[in-house]
Structures are given as structure tokens and as C-alpha cells.
Amino acid sequence: MIVYKFGGASVKDSKSIKNILDIVLSANFDNLIIVISAMGKTTNALEKITNLAFNDKDFSQEILKLKDYHIEIAVNLVNNQEIINKINAIFDNIEDAIKKYKSRDFDFFYDQIVSFGEILSTTIISYYLNNEQLTNKYVDSRKIIITDDNYKNANINYKTTAENIKNLTTQNHKIIITQGFIGSTGNSATTLGREGSDYSAAVYAYFTNAESLTIWKDVDGILTADPRIFNDTVKLDKISYSEAIELAYFGAQVIHPKTIKPLENKNIPLFVKSFINSYSEGTKITKINKKIKLQPIFIIKENQVLLSISPKDFSFIVEQNLSNIFQILSDFKISANLFQHSAISFSICIDNSQKLKSLIETLNRNYKVKYNLNLQLATIRHYTSDAIDKIVNNKKILVQQKSRNTVRFVLQNK
């Protein structure tokens, strides 16, 4: 058993999807599970539709544009009426779900609508591969991955999910096609985790004792920096599970942070490879006992906000204050990308979002809150003085943290 995961960029158009056929035909496997994300920017488009619908605004043009996008891809792959009818039926289901659920809690509503992106992509790709005589079984992951009801960031019920995957893989399907992190609660409501397709692929690999998991990307592997920001990136041939976890935790976009743990537990190697240049070696993530010397690795997060929080009565920042602040962050489902505190102030760096205004208003009830917008959070693993100079340049340092292997800066343009 091997597991392949194809992200949005690798299924963004008909040309990219045809690469999947070539990759699968050239692979050596007894059984294969293919986990697929939504096509291109479909998740973003569905998020926009969700927000418009929830706020009683017109979303008809957005949904028509999205339908045309998927039909165009399908027709370029398999030009027949059957696949068009399947796509039309899915969009009918989207509109029915909007009418049925838009009066519900937003996070619940979000999961019911945004999850259709993966349903669309897998329906089209499964149909295309079958049409090309690559027989496969389409599986709705909502019937396999069972979760709690923490909508937008659901947690897996491992016992039930393990039983479902075991039952699925005893049915002798040579190729299974399923979705990225779509699951359902015991009451059959759809749940998902944003950017969680890597994780669901790792879960399938874990419960099938897979020989390997390969994540197919639009880059040659894990690079020392984002090539959209840096023009001198270098591919890392091999890194350890622990290094991969560190990179994911600090915000590297190549792999989802939850992905590594289930693979490390069973020593299943993870390959990150290019779907464009499928014969290249990519990056291998595996158990490494000896220390490997790595060159500096840069991780940049833009559009950051630095909140500085102080008690109104000039008291110390102690455990009770910290507990209260983190509870507020948890209530808003906001993660702290970096935090640091002094005697009377606690600073956190977070992603800017629509929740920021409400978060500040809530914090202001008990604390004084100052904030800076449009910041950059820069992390350097295996830093050198030259690497630090390269990142800081002429920017103003608002926060700096340094350990043996990692240095982090919250930076502001002067």
C-alpha cells in the first residue's frame, strides 16, 4: 500500500490532472490510495460564497463562475454529458445546503459549504481516470473519517476511523480516490480542517500501514525558503521527522503541522515531490539518528499583528492572566504564532483576520491593548549572522527570540 496526496495546485487545470494519470501509471504499487484537495483556488471561492450567503448577499455570479471553471476542466478531460450532469448535481446540492443551513452557526455552515470543493475535484478526477481505463473506487471520506463537532478544525475519532479504513481496504480496490480532510460527525454533519489534506493522507497511511506517503506539490521538494520570496532557494534532499515538525510549526507551507506525528509513530517515510517533474528525487522525511548539518532555512509569514496586552491595574502578568488571555484566543479559535512576556506586558503575534476587531474589544474589557499591523514574522532555522542580516536588512525589530537552532523576528518596515 502506498498513499499519494495531490494538492490544489496539482489539480488546478486539465493539464495538471493529466499528470496524475502519468504518475499513477509509472508507479509501482499493489494498492494505492489517492487523497485529493479542491482544485486551484476553489476553497477560497467557496469561502467567499459562504460569507456572502451567510450575510444575505448575492452569490449567484460567484457560484456560476465556479461551476463554469469545473465544467471547463471536466470537458477538457472527458467531453461527455454524464460528467457535466454530475457537476451540475453537485452545484444543486451546494445551493440546497446554503438554503438549509445558512441560519445555523457560521462555523457549522462553513464546513457544510466549503467541503464541496473536494467533492467536486474527486468526482471529476475519478471519472477521468476510469474513462482512461485506470479503474478506481470513488470513496466519500465523510463515511470513513469520523470526527468531533469542532467545526472548521475537527478532531478525528481514531477508533471509529480505524475500523472504517480497515473495512475499506479489505474490499480489494486496487486504487481508491478520496478527499482531503473531509469527515463527518456521528450525526453525519460534514466537518473539515482548513489545510488538512496532508493530515488526512497521513491518517490513511497510518491505518493501512502504508509503505510510504508522497505529497505532490508544484515545487521540487522542501526548499530552504519560499521561491516566491527568495530567488536563491536550495532543495533539501533529506530531513528528519523532528526537523519537519519544527518547520511546519513555524509556518512552512509545504506540509501541514499535524501530518508528521502519525507517520513518525510507524516510521512511514514521507516524500515531497514535484508533480511537474515527477521523476526528480524530491525530499524524503524519515527517521534520522545522526545529526545532519543543514544550511539556513527561512520561513516568512506576512500580514501579522502584534498585540501588547497589559493589566489595567498595573499588576504582574501571572498565570491567571495568561490563562485568561489564552482562553480568549481559544474562544476565537486564534493561534498565537509567537508570544513573549515581561513583568507587566504580554505580547502575541497572530495572523490578521476578520476576528481581530472583536478580539481586541474582548481583551479590552480587562486589559490595555496596543497593536501594530502589517508586520512580518521571520523565522530562521540553523541561522548564521549572514542569514540574519539578509532577513533583517533595514527593517525595525519589534520582537526578537533566539535559541540554539532558531531565531525569530517580528519586523516592521521603517
The reply to whether 197 and 307 lie within a common domain is: no
The reply to whether 320 and 252 lie within a common domain is: no
Q: Within a domain: residue 406?
A: yes
Please tell me which residue, 313 or 115, carries the higher pLDDT value.
115
The reply to whether 254 and 322 lie within a common domain is: no
The reply to whether 20 and 150 lie within a common domain is: yes
The reply to whether 245 and 382 lie within a common domain is: no
The reply to whether 250 and 302 lie within a common domain is: no
State how many domains the chain has: 2
pLDDT of 194? 60
Q: Which of 112, 249, 261, 301 is nearest to 191 (CA)?
A: 112
Has residue 290 got a pLDDT over 80? no
Q: Within a domain: residue 291?
A: no
Q: Which long-range contacts (CB under 8 A, 24 or more apart) does 253-259 make?
A: 253/226, 254/215, 254/217, 254/219, 254/222, 254/223, 255/198, 255/215, 255/222, 255/285, 256/195, 256/196, 256/197, 256/198, 256/199, 258/193, 258/196, 258/198, 258/199, 258/202, 259/198, 259/199, 259/201, 259/202
The reply to whether 384 and 255 lie within a common domain is: no
The reply to whether 207 and 327 lie within a common domain is: no
Please tell me which residue, 313 or 130, carries the higher pLDDT value.
130
The reply to whether 341 and 366 lie within a common domain is: yes
The reply to whether 26 and 153 lie within a common domain is: yes
Separation between Cα atoms, residue 414 and residue 406, nearest integer Å? 24
Range of the structural domain that residue 246 is part of: 2-286
Q: Within a domain: residue 176?
A: yes
The reply to whether 260 and 120 lie within a common domain is: yes
End position of a domain, from candidates 229, 254, 286: 286
Lowest pLDDT segment from 227-236, 246-255, 265-274, 330-339: 246-255
Q: What pLDDT digit, counting tens, does each position of 366-405 carry?
A: 899 999 999 999 999 999 999 999 999 889 999 999 999 9
**CATH code for the domain in which residue 199 is found:** 3.40.1160.10
Q: What pLDDT digit, counting tens, does each position of 306-324 carry?
A: 999 998 887 777 788 888 8
Q: Within a domain: residue 375?
A: yes
Q: What pLDDT digit, counting tens, does each position of 279-289 carry?
A: 888 999 999 97
Query: Which grid cell is 93?
Result: 446540492
